[in-house]
Structure 1
């Protein structure tokens, strides 16, 4: 009787699954946010993308907050930090925060992961260090720099979140609440609101990026180097 082929026993075996890693968890989380939005992001949903059970993820994360930290870290890794220049510090801060805004806008709602969270990911800490170094190079007093950067970070996160909410509602006509500029003008020019009517054009002027740059400049231009 011929001996069985040594490979025969493994012919019908299932292919070995790729091990779960922090990198794969982060990739899967970004995929969920990119395709379904941040509201869909749960440990169970990430596990499903990885074709595993939630328990497999707990060897690498403790809870959903850990996934948020990983997401912020991954997006922070894309940020290019300049060498601090005392003569160009305002422009450098505007550029870095614009990069952060653009990263958030790629993934609808992901900026919520950065709100009310103290970053611990090394990449997020790298960006925070870089922003602080730029402000200090500009002669800004340390506490003023820290508080101003925190305020701008909150604004950037809120701006990106608002943009994602507007986009989300425009994609679902049955939940439409965003009106056109023409409709806003019609409402703003009602006789009941004289100041709004008088300045309707100003109230509805500017694009999102225009207002973003204006707000950051409003903060940065009022930061005075210490004597």
Structure 2
């Protein structure tokens, strides 16, 4: 039996079988090696993507560490950094973590100066309001109010992301208070009593910010105003279905954006000045 087994082991069939096993083992090793190389390449690509994402998030600045000086932590410094991040990469990249990194501190440290992201957005809006000139003295009180609100709208439109957030977050801070105080003074100059001034101020601010948010959405590509207007024009031409709209279809889009804005302010002011006293309706 031993001689038979030895004879088979040394025979051509066994030799062929050993060659096949070796070839299969070699092929399996190559296959495993290729899978390992692919997996390593995938992991390296993921790590590189994560590094690039961190570079984009933190603006390619120096990393935190003992050799990097800590920034002066204050509300103004936090808002400065938040504005820079927004201008570079958009409002969605303004996070407490990103701001803290720029100031070489931890996110928790920021909350001693800014209570929340909503509050931070409010202070960022306040920074924008601070760029409005409150010293204009030419024109009637109505004209100066229209100019003031127009300037507010244009400043907001310089930062479309922030303008869209203005409907959810009101600006807060000294600049906003000075703006509101100046607007209140112009309403008083127009002879509008205290109650109507108090209610009218909120209406004028909200109307202006809502308009800016709408135009900011168009500017950011979140809607297609030309296509929307075209579809609306076609729809209101159906006098049988929309008789009242069809009757004024030519007037619906009459006038420039500037003239429509001025008319809107005038209509609001007329309503504020001549409405029933607040609290009596």
Q: TM-score, normalised by structure 2?
A: 0.62
Query: Cα–Cα, structure 1 residues 166 and 36, in superposed 2: closer, same or farther, change >3 Å?
Result: farther
Contact kept? 1:140, 1:224, Cα under 8 Å: yes
Q: Distance in 1 between matches of 2:233 and 2:244?
A: 13
**In structure 2, what is the equivalent of residue 67 of structure 1?**
120
> What does the per-residue CA deviation read over 1:156-208, in whole Å, with 9 as the maximum and x for residues that have no partner?
110111111112235xxxxx554434443233324633433343332233443
- The higher relative CO (CA closer than 8 Å, separation ≥ 6) is in 1
Contact kept? 1:33, 1:108, Cα under 8 Å: no
Q: Distance in 2 between matches of 1:183 and 1:110?
A: 29
Partner secondary structure for residue 203 of structure 1: coil
Residue pairs, 1:39-118, within 5 angstroms: 39-48=92-101, 50=103, 52-82=105-135, 88-111=140-163, 114-115=166-167
1:205 is the counterpart of 2:225: no
Partner secondary structure for residue 202 of structure 1: coil
| 5+ residue gaps, structure 1 | 1-12, 171-175
> What does the per-residue CA deviation read over 1:129-170, in whole Å, with 9 as the maximum and x for residues that have no partner?
111112112221011111111101000110111111112235
**In structure 2, what is the equivalent of residue 186 of structure 1?**
234
Q: Distance in 1 between matches of 2:164 and 2:271?
A: 27
Residue pairs, 1:112-127, within 5 angstroms: 114-115=166-167, 120-127=172-179
Over the aligned positions, Cα root-mean-square deviation in angstroms equals 3.0
**In structure 1, what is the equivalent of residue 263 of structure 2?**
214
Contact kept? 1:185, 1:201, Cα under 8 Å: no
Aligned-residue offset at 1:67:
0.8
Q: Distance in 2 between matches of 1:131 and 1:52?
A: 39
Q: Which has the larger radius of gyration?
A: 2
| 5+ residue gaps, structure 2 | 1-65, 275-281
Which has the larger share of helix?
A: 2
Query: Cα–Cα, structure 1 residues 140 and 50, in superposed 2: closer, same or farther, change >3 Å?
Result: same
Match of 2:67 among 6, 14, 19: 14
Q: TM-score, normalised by structure 1?
A: 0.75
Contact kept? 1:109, 1:164, Cα under 8 Å: yes
